[in-house]
A and B are shown apart, each in its own frame.
Chain A
């Protein structure tokens, strides 16, 4: 397991950028009331076919001698392990040309849940290294919502329709 969930987000984000994403959407829901921490990272990169997806998720214990294929690390397998260990679930959806969505949930109060860590620095690092990519962050708790986009205009309007839609998604992924 990585020490902070921000590092997982950084890891997934780097995968997305390596996959040629032009829009990278990071959502974090931290709900004490419902006792869930949910991370959702979505990109419009080139996506993965079924075989690649399988390989990414495998924990390849027997492969110590063979080198890993370039660009495919242990990150997602580790995140899945963390999510499942902390009473949550892990889900990834991807297809060639369709982008990739990764969702990991965990019990907020699980004693082994890694701290979220420094989300600001993570997003900043992703933005600084990729000025042409639109990087969106949406961080929600029971009482507050913080939104950021690296391509945000001066004039900012709240996107209420999207909010309710996404709340439905977040609740659905843990049902």
Chain B
């Protein structure tokens, strides 16, 4: 995926049934990465992506910050604690959806995110 192709996130929030947990939302993301293993995300996620995961613990925010990930979508209706959301307020958007990671990926693909 080329860094130049940016994908508008807000228009797909409805299709994702996503609820923002943080105030700020990025206008665009550069792509998507799906993984629940944090070391794998550290190794492979590109900057600016939307990260889809079921993991909700504190390290998710740390890894997202380290990799300049634009937004994290928690699937299966999971939501991290308020303290973790507060830590993410500086620059990383957090969202939650009742969909599974697979379903969310399908909706994102249908919406044109490649």
B33-85 residues with Cβ-Cβ distance < 8 A to A are 37-39, 42, 57-59, 62-63
- Which secondary structure dominates where chain B touches chain A? helix
Contact B38 A112 (CB under 8 A): yes
- Interface size grouping (class) on chain A: under 10
Q: In the bound complex, do residue A111 and residue B58 qualify as a contact, i.e. CB atoms below 8 Å apart?
A: no
| Chain A, Cβ-Cβ closest to B57 | A115
In the bound complex, residues from chain A placing their C-beta under 8 Å from that of B37 are: 112
Complex contact B57–A111 (CB within 8 A): no
**Cα separation A114 to B59 with both chains bound (whole Å):** 9
Q: What separation, in Å, do the CA atoms of A111 and B59 have in the docked complex? A: 7
Rounded to whole Å, the gap between the CB of B53 and the closest CB of chain A is: 12
* B39 CB contacts on chain A under 8 angstroms: 111-112
Q: Which residues of chain A have C-beta atoms less than 8 A from B57's C-beta?
A: 3, 114-115
Q: 1/0 contact trace for A91-116 toward B, CB 8 Å?
A: 00000000000000000000110110
- Other CB < 8 Å A-B pairs besides A3-B57, A111-B63, 12 of them? A111-B38, A111-B39, A111-B42, A111-B59, A111-B62, A112-B37, A112-B38, A112-B39, A114-B57, A115-B57, A115-B58, A115-B59
A-B contact pairs, 8 of them (CB 8 A): A3-B57, A111-B38, A111-B42, A111-B62, A111-B63, A114-B57, A115-B57, A115-B59
